[in-house]
Amino acid sequence: MSTHTHEPNRPVGLGVPLLDLRPQYESIRTELDAAVRQVIESQQFILGPAVKACETAVARYCQCAHAVGVSSGTDALLMALMAENIGPGDEVITSPYSFFATAGSIARVGARPVFVDIDPATFNLDPKLLAAAITPRTRAILPVHLYGQMAEMDPILELARDRGLVVIEDAAQAIGAEDHGRRAGSLGHYGCFSFFPSKNLGCFGDGGLVTTQDAGRAERLAMLRMHGSKVKYQHQLVGGNFRLDALQAVVIEVKLHHLDRWTAARQANAERYDRLFRESGLINPDGTPNALGIVLPAVRQNRHVFNQYVIWIPDRDAVRERLQAAGIGNEVYYPIPLHLQECFRDLGGQPGQFPEAERAARETLALPVYPELLPDQIASVTAAILLSGGASGGNLRPPNILLPDPGRRR
């Protein structure tokens, strides 16, 4: 590895993907292949002991009494709403800045999503705005633990208790995250998780899970995933086919044993970004923005698991062009807030209604942060952003950033 000087028009690095799952698989290939082979040989693909073992392990990890494996994170949200008989005429308060499934699941049961703006420091629901959004039709609050950091749960839980509301945690991006030592999915009436391959704990396709501390709710969830049946051909509820495949369950359980190590690597990568940004002059030593106006992710308290490393950057499009020219993966989550989506036009959402969510949609950018990311790849990303600022006249100083040696291979 060698240190290079910075030339304004020279592409930086050899390319850095936003996410590369192959190194993770290679590191535990033997375990995964053996677990999958065992299911294939058993020919027990629907529920059974593999799914039960996965549910038990994830429940324990999430500090929950019960867990019910389901077909996706979206179906986890849908089932939690169905379990509470939330439907037409009901309202559910949630964030306008999230993946579509958050509000889409509310709409699918016939209820009305009611949006509350985000705290720009954390991208999560601003709890100070919740009380004003509650009406006689409000049945639930659905906070999102976005990008791997939990929402500020204590005021949400207190308000829900006072008003008799259900709390459904959208923890799709936050398995293992903590709020004052309490794990995501353990505080509300339900916690909803996704095991989509890009998540911190990802399976080999679609998969999800619902946690709860309540045995009665767990039983109802288990019935709903089997078409509302507890005894074969006897249906107490109208549910659906929401089962977690046994093949996905064993992948999840194997990977769960490695999750804390991967989380530590994500946190270390985030810390490396923070340090390089400060050393470069893109960020002042006290963390305030400089030059490009970059604001680094805020860690509110306890355990941020960094499903994404998302920065505020006002001149985002210009920076994206520089990163793409250097072959550096990046992504915009989420370019259109939910209240401005065409399918929710009947809710009456207007531009300017939720200014922080709308600003986040315009000015934030996700950078690679997956566990196997190499230090010199992080340096390449930082250097490419530095050169974007230099080209636009920013007062930046080139740090001692190490770029990949052309002869180096993973």
Is the pLDDT score of 408 beyond 70? no
The two structure tokens encoding residue 395: 């007062």
pLDDT of residue 11: 39
Question: pLDDT-based confidence at 389, cuts 50/70/90?
Answer: low
Residue 228 and residue 46: Cα distance in Å, rounded?
16
Is the pLDDT score of 140 beyond 80? yes
Rg of the chain taking only CA atoms, in angstroms:
22
| Alpha-helical regions (H) of 191-245 | 215-224
Which comes out higher in pLDDT, residue 303 or 300? Answer: 303
pLDDT of residue 291: 61
Is the pLDDT score of 404 beyond 60? no
Q: DSSP character for 328?
A: B
Is the pLDDT score of 302 beyond 70? yes
Question: pLDDT-based confidence at 399, cuts 50/70/90?
Answer: very low
Q: Which residue reads 């946190």 in tokens?
A: 267
Q: Where do the CATH 3.90.1150.10 domains begin and end in the chain?
A: 259-403
The pTM assigned to this predicted structure is: 0.90
Give, in order, the Cα–Cα distances in Å from 27 to each of 24, 162, 238: 5, 48, 43
Is the pLDDT score of 282 beyond 90? no
pLDDT of residue 402: 35
Is the pLDDT score of 307 beyond 60? yes
Which of 269, 212, 169, 172 has its CA nearest to residue 59? 212
Q: What is the CATH number that goes with domain 25-256?
A: 3.40.640.10
CATH fold, domain 259-403, is Aspartate Aminotransferase, domain 1 (3.90.1150)
pLDDT of residue 287: 66
Q: Where do the CATH 3.40.640.10 domains begin and end in the chain?
A: 25-256
Residue 225 and residue 82: Cα distance in Å, rounded?
10
b/e map 362-392, b = 16+ CB within 10 Å: ebbbbbbbbbbbeebbbbbbbbbbbbbbbee
Q: β-pairing, 309-312 with 234-235? A: unpaired
Q: Which residue reads 């985030």 in tokens?
A: 270
User: 277 CB contacts (<8 Å, ≥6 apart)?
Assistant: 283, 294, 296, 382
Q: What is the mean pLDDT of residues 370-386?
A: 93
Is the pLDDT score of 131 beyond 60? yes
Total residue length of the chain: 410
pLDDT of residue 147: 98
19 and 25 in contact (C-beta within 8 Å)? no
Residue 168 and residue 329: Cα distance in Å, rounded?
32
Residue 18 CB neighbour total at 10 angstroms:
16
182 and 153 in contact (C-beta within 8 Å)? yes
Q: What is the largest CA-CA distance in the chain?
A: 72
Is the pLDDT score of 409 beyond 80? no
